[in-house]
Structure formats: C-alpha cells, structure tokens
Amino acid sequence: MARFQPVLTAAGLSEIDFETIIRLARSPRQRLRMSDLAAQTGLSTSGVTRVVDRLEREGLVRREACPTDRRASYAVLADAGRERLETVLPQHLQDIDDCLTGLLSTSELEAFLGSLRKIRDVVRPCATAGAVETDAEARTSS
C-alpha cells in the first residue's frame, strides 16, 4: 500500500476512503446498505458510520433511507465522489499493473485472481455483500 498511498494522499483520500468509494462505484446503482458496506470493508457498523459521515461532509457520499426498512439506510456515491475516483483511478490502476498484474502472463494472472478469490471467500466471506441487487430492491427503487 505504500506504493499506492501518494496517489490517494494527493486526492485527499485515506485507504479506507478510497476502498469505500470504489466499493460504492462498482455496486448496483452505486449504493450499498450501510451494513453491507461494513461487511465488505471489514469495518464495524460504527466504523463505517464514521467513514461515511466524513465522506458525506466532503460531499463525496450521501445517505438515502431504505424505502422498505426504516431501520436501514444506504450509502450512495455522490457526483463529487465519482469525480474524485475518476482522478485517482487511472494512476492507481497503472500502479497495480506496474507492480503486480503486469508482471504476470494471462494464464498466470487468471490463476492468481482465482486463488485470491478463493482466499477472500474464506477470510472475508462478506466481501461481496450487497454486490448484487435483489429483485425486491430493484422494484422499490424504480
């Protein structure tokens, strides 16, 4: 992560800020239930609340109430968060390619990614929580 930190710092993001924003960006409708965001990031619910509070103050994320469950809320990527991610992502991806993925052949990369997914599923089984929108969620937000 030391290799990637200067790019994040220049954009005014911590590692957890970046992880939160990128997880929202690649989620259905660029939003996640707060509980799913906590599960994906490995943070406690209070930890993710603090991160989202900070990102919300900066205008990078906003909260939306869940229309079907008054106890739940969503963290939603705001336009400013999307723009900030777009400034960081090209260099971040280049750094990953330079020091990791670019060193591997196509078959090595496929095997490596398969191994990482297998390990992730055991070590962090909730790493993809909320990543697929349910039919019920799609109906209530339409």
> Does the structure show a pLDDT above 80 at 88?
yes
Query: What pLDDT digit, counting tens, does each position of 21-52 carry?
Result: 999 999 999 999 999 999 999 899 999 999 99
| pTM (predicted TM-score) | 0.83
- Amino acid letter at 106? T
Query: What pLDDT digit, counting tens, does each position of 102-138 carry?
Result: 999 999 999 999 999 999 889 888 778 777 765 455 5
Q: Which residues, including other chains, have CB under 8 Å from residue 74's CB and lie 6 or more apart?
A: 31, 32, 33, 34, 63, 64, 65, 66
Asked if 40 contacts 130 with a C-beta cutoff of 8 angstroms, the reply is yes
- What domains does the chain contain, in order, with CATH numbers? 4-123 (1.10.10.10)
Dihedral, 84, 140, 66, 83 alpha carbons, nearest 10: 0
> Does the structure show a pLDDT above 50 at 142?
no
The DSSP bridge pattern shows strands 61-65 and 31-33 to be: unpaired
Average pLDDT of the chain to the nearest whole number: 89
96 is written with which tokens? 């990953």
